[in-house]
Amino acid sequence: MLQHSWLHRRDLLRRAGSGAGLLGLTTLLQSEGLLRPAGAADASNPLAPKDGHFDGRVKRVIWLFINGGPSHVDTWDYKPELEKSDGKELEGFDRFTGFFANSVGPLMKSPFKFQQHGECGKWVSEIFPNLSQHVDKMAFIHSGHTESNNHSPALFMMNTGVPRMGNPCVGSWVTYGLGSESRNLPAFVVMSDPKGRGLPKGYSLNWGAGFLPSVYQGTWLKPQGDPIDNLKPPADLNKSRQRAQLDLLASLNRQHLQQHAAERDLAARVESFELAYRMQVAAPEALDVTREPDHIQQQYGIGDEKCDHFAKQCLIARRMVERGVRFVQIYSGGMENQRSWDGHNDIAGNHRGFAGETDKPIAGLLADLDQRGLLNDTLVVWGGEFGRLPVAQKAAKPGRDHNPHAFTYWMAGGGIKGGTSYGATDEVGHKAVDDRVSVNDLHATILHLLGVNHEQLTYRHNGRDYRLTDLAGNVIEKILA
Amino acid sequence: MPATMTTAAAADTSASEKPPSGADHSERVKAGTALFRKSVRQILVDRCLSCHGGDSLEGEFNLATREALLKGGEKGPAIIPGKAGESRLYRMITHAEKPPMPYDEEKMADDEIAAIAKWIDLEAPYDKPLVEGGVELKDWTERTIENDAKDFWAFRPLNSAQAPEFDHDDWSQTDIDRFVLRALQNKAIKPNDVADRRVLIRRTYFGVIGMPPEPADLQRLMSDQSPDWYEHMIDELLDSRHFGERWARHWLDVARFAESHGFEQDYNRDFAYHYRDFVIKAFNMDMPYDQFVKWQLAGDEIAPDDPLALMATGFLGAGVFPTQLTENEFEPARYDELDDMVSTMGTAMLGLTIGCARCHDHKYDPIPAADYYRIVSTFGQTIRSNIEVELNSAETKQAIAKWETDHKPIADQLREFEERELGSRFDAWVASDALDELTSSQNPEWLVLHVANAKSAGGATLSVQPDESILATGTNPDFDSYTFTADTYLRDIRSLRLEALAHESMVKGGPGRASNGNMGLGTITVTAEPLSGESKPIAVKLTNPRATFEQNNGNLSIAASIDSSKNTGWAVDPQFGKDHAAAFDFAEPVEFAGGTRLIVTLSFNVNNKHNIGRARLSISNKANSPALDAESQPQAVAELLDLIASGEIPKNGPRRVQLMSWYRTRDPEWQKLSAAVAEHNQLKPKPNLATVMVSSEGVKPIKHNADGRGFPHFYKETFFLKRGDSTQKLRTANPGFLQVLTSADDIDQRWNVAPPDGWHTSYRRRALANWMTDADGGAGHLLARVIVNRLWQHHMGRGIVSTPNDFGKQGELPSHPELLDWLAQQLIDANWRLKPIHRLILTSSAYQQSSAYDDRRSTIDPENRWLWRREPRRLEAEVIRDAMLAVSNQLDRTQFGPGTLDPSQKRRSIYFMVKRSQLIPMMQVFDSPEPLASVGNRPSTTIASQALMFMNSPQVREYAGGLAARIRSAGQSDIVDQAYLSGISRKPTHVERASAEAFLKTQSTSYQSDGRSVDDSDRLALTDLCQTVFSLNEFVFVD
């Protein structure tokens, strides 16, 4: 039942009509988990948990956004033919495919060695010595393609399904559709590069709610200072004084409520202060990775200078989903060029560096989720906004330019058939050719795993019912367990 | 699904390879034809034909004839005769393949699907085409709408129904109420009575100006005995300068206003705030709404001299635009931008989702894609530009005219003196011995040039000083270049000296204008030409560079000023505050019989702002490369002496003019008169210039990252695009109007205006603006409906049409259609002034009702659609913050100008800068929308982070401290009462007062136990209480 009672409360009440109908409403609210002992106050809580269209295989998502466009042919999409064709021209290549039309070089083999791993025998680049140990948990999609060769439209495409600004991102759609299981934490959390390399192109609009109510936007954990606004009480207000203040507020508000018994919004607001009071404690606790035992911290790579920052973010992600946060997105890398996986120059150095920052933390995350049983109902997604070209981008140390025609994603977790590889690029990895997967397909699959039918999750805006997947999208059934 | 695609493709092939045949075949066709006649034909006509062969050809698919059916659409054949299961048509109607058909409609009934399946299996025969005589489909770019399409309530002319009358009616105060009352009577429910005065005051203050009444205002209004106190209050509030700030915010939501580009870099649009100021000012001055709309579409064409009209065009350019584009994205990005303009115009002004007709005809409303592209083409050449605008053009013009009148007699006096007296005074002076004083130097080696013309390429002010030096003042551009022109009669010119002189106007006395007083002469060039004009100019080659001081002997030496690099040259750090000189010899001596004009160019490309502040030029005809500090003499003196020596002082001609222009500066009478002119010149009114972001044509585009790649910013032609795809152009689209909102038949005379000769825009938007506001023949009636609905919505809590941005078929129907039309007509009759409509609504009983709840009436009308009561409403983000600021006495009421992102600023929230990637958290948490598309209706959510803001935000705490300080400084003992009165406009009840006083005591004790003084503890305790008052439901919800 994907009703959003806080939006349509009045419609519901209208339909409910008389006494018998009100009973129906109560049932409805209960079925949505909206009814709390304090009363039906939550009816106005837009983040109250809701059931999907069907039983989903996962309850939450951790999306490792490999920002800047990771090169599929240097990571997961092993291309022996590219090695053989090293130095040859790629016939028929349109030099406007990437961003720099005047720096197109010949085909270039991967600077990395590939080896087979796992029971599935997946060929993996040497830059992932730890992640390669988990290939049997992953389903690889090698035939991704997108609509733009430019970071920000491609980022918007990957995050919102449209290569323009203005639409809600996946995390927003998911929290709009399913609410949050955590009452004390934000429903949708985003972490960005903490090493001063900037935010992804398009900044916060990548986790914006677009035309959905702003309550569904991602909460960005600021890498510097307090990660979340307004969690710390003012200096003067110690715990008991703030408690006294809130007690006074509650009593005054309740007196007011007696004269406004019919106004549910007012009751909900009284509740929200208590919730906020709990959040003050819960959120910093969830963000505090030092509460984890040493061996867990080490498993993620905390303390290892190279990957400490990403390791902490991965561990925070686990602590978040464990506490019911619906959607977590972590960006690896900052803005463009050497500040992210955007290896226009020196693809070898660039990818070795960013792989080094993320390999151990993500492997640690997968192992940790697995050992806690959380991987059964959590979806982990790995991928960026596009792939990179098999031809070199000319430079002293050659790099690779953007490739909208092919990229690799992998997913792991509940409902995923581990060890599978779906779709394929051509011999050199230039274009996706077999079982091509659009961004809408990826989105449809993520929603499906969450128990949401991507065609039925809609929002009316300026006269049109919008969907995350627009008019397209097919669930990639073959990667599903 | 890839698997499906493969199967379908294979099936297509097999079908074409194996045509059905045989007797069995003809039997089946017979049965199929019967089935077709019996049911299939009607199903296809009812469910498929209108999009596929009747009125349009969606997907290029036509099923009007069997031949066309077999040919199929852009995806290939629609059916494989004999094989329903593999036929695309069947798969789509069973929703096995996408898109599901019939599109956006209910699925066909099972028996209908079964009939079609059977029919396909029976070879899908037709007895005759679905449309008699076959279909001849018009090219969609020429599509006209059916006449009955205009017969939808929103498109019809305004209904002229008047308010009903009642025999017994002690509730209604205005016609509005009589419309409302009738609707209520139809439901047999009664409305509430007028609310308490206190409630009304608070409601109206928030509704009209977005701030609570000051306690003093409250007291005054509560005790006002006059019967029309309410009307007076409304007038006062509508006249308040804060009214525009409150109502502009509503419009800015609709206009998706922001001050940054969005996308990858989200660069600021530093001059976009003028649009926000325009909206505030327009509402405050009660600009007629039709003008308000016209100016936003075409202010640059309608009133180009009015700065507000130019600012208004910021509406068109307020949308997002990518700042990083590759070649393939240029044109699609431009079409997206045009779509943003048209879509926003449609939803904001007409409540129509015109943008939905970009890829195909509008699915629900009679807006063909053809109309869409015609409107798009209206904006085809409109781009964003930052232009200099004279803010007070009228005032400035007036002031200048007055100044000129005053100036004339002063200037005339000087002119007359020069004409009548100066010549004889000069002759007398020559005859006297005054000249001897000037010839003290016996053998001057340098002749100081009198520069007749000095120009700065970068806009600096260059003025010739009495000592013949040229002083630079005013603008100091990054890399200026000066051109000096001087005429001389010296012969055999062999050297040039450039002095860079100290002056008090420069940092450390100069001689340069850089921030440290330095200069950097990148290049110096000299051109010589004959005054007679008889031979060509010569580029003089400079040699033997030398200078009094050089910063180094490499790239900052005088030699570097005549090398091939523009970026190296003479600098003098650290010798500041001193006079410097440099000299060059001419490779070949220069002379022209009849005089020489020297043009000396100095370019300063060495470093930012390293322009020489005071320069002086001298020449020499000595063969010995004279020393830099050798004796000098003014050119004029030398030349005069030559003339005297030759015994011939010219009585007229250019040499006389030159002599006089030198002499007059020594004449005391001329000095006096000239000083008077100069003094008055200082008083000349200066234009008040500001840079404003406008949308216009033929203007300089705003710099773009892809300029280097050749991004054109706009295209001369706009095309009809197939499926909205700019790579599929059909033909040129020319401007037009929405057919459904055009009833006039004299379009050309009525709306189109030809631009004046030489004008830089096409006047296309002006024509659109005329159509938009024409209530008789154009869209004006809908325009009026939409805006009065917005006013109603914001005053009453919901619109008469509850989907304010969609008046089309997907929108809600009006709850009170006659009232809506009546209000629209009132607006038009009031010459489109909005304040009378505000007044009408505010003075109605419907508006003034109490919020009292009633179970029985709520059962009948739970939504309060029929307005039996007032529903309490949560204040919007901006108003919550503004109210706290106002109550705490910290509000900075400064209006207009650039905004800021600083959360601690104290101006009203509308003055926050709206940067798309850095929206103000305090606004967002209370549902202020992302400025990406027009928003007509904000949601009102209740979430914990709002509570966190009241509890913990440093700003809220600061506001609470402000209120506490305000109460304490008033020195009254009833501090709890004061906190209540300031915050929620009433006194506390006994119970509330008791709780609050107990709380103050507890908190103070607690602070004291921390070692704080009693006074400090009381202050903090009161701060805690004030913060609690801000957090009250009653503070943010208004009855």
Q: Are residues A26 and A64 in the same domain?
A: no
pLDDT of residue B18: 45
Q: Tell me, what's the pLDDT at A2?
A: 41
The mean-pLDDT minimum among A371-375, B365-369, B430-434, B452-456 falls in B430-434
Distance from C-alpha of B801 to C-alpha of B799, rounded to nearest angstrom: 5
Q: Do A96 and B328 touch (CB under 8 A)?
A: yes
- Report whether B64 contacts B130 (CB < 8 A): yes
Q: Tell me whether residues B872 and A472 touch, CB distance under 8 A.
A: no
Residue A30 binned pLDDT confidence (cut-offs 50, 70, 90): very low
- Residues B930, A210: C-beta atoms closer than 8 Å: yes
* CA B225 – CA B464 distance, rounded (Å): 72
A406 neighbors A90 (Cβ within 8 angstroms): no
**Domain housing A112:** 60-229+292-479
The more confident residue out of B906 and B658 is B906
CA distances from B318 to B271, B331, B896 (A): 11, 19, 18
Confidence of residue B659 (pLDDT cuts 50, 70, 90): confident
Q: B residues 197-256 near A, CB within 8 Å?
A: none
Residue of A nearest to B932 (CA): A166
The pLDDT value recorded for residue B648 is: 75
**Does the beta-carbon distance from A462 to B347 stay under 8 Å?**
yes
Q: What number is the average pLDDT over the span B637-643?
A: 77
- Digit-coded pLDDT (tens) for A332-365: 999 888 999 999 999 999 999 999 999 999 999 9
Q: Judge whether A157 lies within some domain.
A: yes
Q: Which residues neighbour A360 within 8 Å (Cβ) at sequence distance 6 or greater?
A: A130, A300, A301, A304, A307, A311
If pLDDT is split at 50, 70 and 90, which confidence band does B137 have? low
Residue B21: per-residue pLDDT: 55
Q: Where are the alpha helices (DSSP H) in B733-873?
A: 747-751, 764-772, 780-796, 817-829, 835-842, 845-848, 855-860
CA pair distance B263, A160, nearest whole angstrom:
13
Q: Which residues of A touch B941 (CB under 8 A)?
A: 6, 44, 46, 213, 215
What would the mean pLDDT of B365-372 be, rounded to a whole number?
94
Our CA-based measurement puts residue A208 at a distance from the nearest CA of chain B, in whole angstroms, of 8
User: At residue B60, what is the residue type?
Assistant: E
Asked if residue A225 and residue A323 are part of one domain, the reply reads yes
pLDDT greater at residue A33 or residue B912: B912
Tell me if B98 and A472 make a contact (CB, 8 A cut-off): yes
The CATH number linked to A196 is: 3.40.720
Check CB contact under 8 Å for A214 and B927: yes
The whole-angstrom separation of Cα B399 and Cα B685 is 6
User: Is residue A284 in a domain?
Assistant: no
Q: Is the pLDDT of residue B440 over 80?
A: no
> What are the chain A neighbours of B950 within 8 Å (beta carbons)?
273
Stretch B61-79: mean pLDDT? 84
Of B445, B440, B435, B481, which Cα lies nearest the Cα of B460? Answer: B481
Q: How far is CA A308 from CA A86, A193, A289, A304, A361, in A?
A: 36, 12, 12, 5, 8
Distance from CA of A18 to the nearest CA of B (A): 6
pLDDT band at residue B162 under the 50/70/90 scheme: very high
Would you call B1006 and A152 a contact, using CB atoms and an 8 Å cutoff?
Answer: no
Identify whether A268 is part of a domain.
no
* Bigger pLDDT: A141 vs B364: A141
A17 inside domain = yes
Residue A13 pLDDT > 60: no
* Residues of chain B positioned with their CB less than 8 A from the CB of A44: 941-942
Q: Is the pLDDT of residue B9 over 50?
A: no
Choice between B54 and B27, residue whose per-residue pLDDT is larger: B27
Residue range A257-307, pLDDT digits in tens:
888 888 878 888 888 898 899 889 899 999 999 999 999 999 999 999 999
Which among A358, A464, A475 has a CA at the least distance from the CA of A416?
A475
Report chain B's mean pLDDT, rounded to a whole number: 90
Mean pLDDT of B605-630: 91
- pLDDT of B77 reads 86
Does A266 fall in a domain? no
Q: How many distinct structural domains can be found in chain A?
A: 2
Overall average pLDDT of the A173-182 stretch: 93
Give the distance from residue B22's alpha carbon to the nearest chain A alpha carbon, in angstroms. Answer: 40
Task: Band the pLDDT of A198: cuts 50, 70, 90.
Answer: confident
Which residues of chain B does A202 touch, with a Cβ-Cβ cutoff of 8 Å?
Answer: 262-264, 266, 917
DSSP letters for A187-219? SEEEE---SSS---TTGGGGG--TTS-GGGS-E
Residue B941 at interface with chain A, using a CB cutoff of 8 Å: yes
The pLDDT score that the predictor gives to residue B64 is 83
Closest chain A C-alpha to B980 CA, distance in angstroms = 12
A21-30, B96-105, B406-415 — which one is most confidently predicted on average?
B406-415
- The reply to whether A275 falls in a domain is no
Residues A28, A119 within the same domain: no
Averaged pLDDT for residues A22-50: 46
For residues A3 and A143, membership in a common domain is answered with no
pLDDT at A164: 87
B353/A151 Cβ within 8 A: no
Percent of the residues in chain B that have a pLDDT greater than 90, as a whole number: 67
Q: How many Å apart are CA A272 and CA B940, to the nearest integer?
A: 14
What's the pLDDT band for A248 if we cut at 50, 70, 90? Answer: very high
Coil, strand or helix at B445? coil
Residue A40 has pLDDT above 80, yes or no: no
Give the model's pLDDT for residue B3.
Answer: 35
Which 3 state secondary structure label does DSSP give B447? strand
In a shared domain, residues A2 and A69: no
For position B452, what pLDDT does the model report?
A: 87
**Contact between A262 and B324 using a beta-carbon 8 Å cutoff:** no
Residue B849 token pair: 């009702």
* Segment 673-732 of chain B within 8 Å of chain A by CB: none
Q: Are residue A9 and residue A101 in the same domain, yes or no?
A: no
**Average per-residue pLDDT in chain A?**
88
**Which residue of chain B has the CA closest to A257?**
B1033
A154 shares a domain with A102: yes
- Residue B544 DSSP SS3: strand
Interchain pair B266, A251: CB under 8 A: no
| Domain limits, chain B | 2-137, 261-391+692-752, 414-681, 877-925+942-1039
Percentage with pLDDT > 70 across chain B: 96
Work out the pLDDT band at B12, boundaries 50, 70, 90: very low
In chain B, residues 792-811 whose CB comes closer than 8 Å to chain A: 803, 805-806, 808, 810-811
Task: Report the pLDDT value the prediction gives residue B22, as an integer from 0 to 100.
Answer: 59
Q: Does position A21 have pLDDT exceeding 80, yes or no? A: no
Residues A342 and A203 in one domain: yes
- pLDDT at position B130 is 81
pLDDT, average across residues A251-260: 90
For residues B554 and A27, give the distance between their C-alpha atoms in angstroms, rounded to a whole number.
Answer: 88
Question: To the nearest whole angstrom, how far is the Cα of B776 from the nearest Cα of chain A?
Answer: 26
| Spatial separation of the C-alpha atoms in residues B612 and B506, rounded to whole Å | 10
Between B487 and B287, residue with greater pLDDT: B287
B441 pLDDT band (50/70/90 cuts)? low
Instruction: Write the CB contacts of B511 (distance below 8 Å, at least 6 apart in sequence).
Output: B500, B501, B502, B503, B517, B519, B572, B576, B578, B579, B580, B612, B613, B614
The whole-number pLDDT of residue B45 equals: 86
Are the C-beta atoms of B419 and B605 separated by less than 8 Å?
no
Higher pLDDT, A197 or B276: B276
Report the pLDDT value the prediction gives residue B198, as an integer from 0 to 100. Answer: 95
Helix orientation angle between B241-254 and B197-209, rounded to the nearest 10 degrees: 60
Where residue A28 falls among pLDDT bands split at 50, 70, 90?
A: very low
pLDDT at B364 over 70: yes
| Contact flag A202-B264 (C-beta cutoff 8 Å) | yes
Test A152 with B858 for CB contact under 8 angstroms. no
| A120 occurs within a structural domain | yes
Q: Which two tokens stand for residue B449?
A: 């040039």
Do the beta carbons of residue B556 and residue B568 sit within 8 Å? Answer: yes
- Is the residue at A54 inside a domain? no
Q: Give the pLDDT band (50/70/90) at residue B165.
A: very high
Burial group, residue A318, by CB count within 10 angstroms (0-12, 13-18, 19+): buried
- How far apart CA A269 and CA A85 sit, in angstroms, is 66
Residue range B499-537, pLDDT digits in tens:
999 999 999 999 999 999 999 999 999 999 998 888 889
pLDDT of the residue at B630: 86
The stretch B330-354 carries a mean pLDDT of: 96
When comparing pLDDT for A395 and A3, which is higher?
A395
Q: Are residues A19 and A95 in the same domain?
A: no
Query: What pLDDT band is residue A471 in, cutting at 50, 70 and 90?
Result: confident
Residue B755 has pLDDT above 60, yes or no: yes
- Alpha-carbon gap, residue A392 to A348, rounded angstroms: 12
Asked if pLDDT for residue B61 goes beyond 90, the answer is no
Which of A174-178, A380-384, B655-659 is predicted least confidently? B655-659
Instruction: Locate B1024 and state its tokens.
Output: 């805690």
B2:A436 CB<8 A: yes
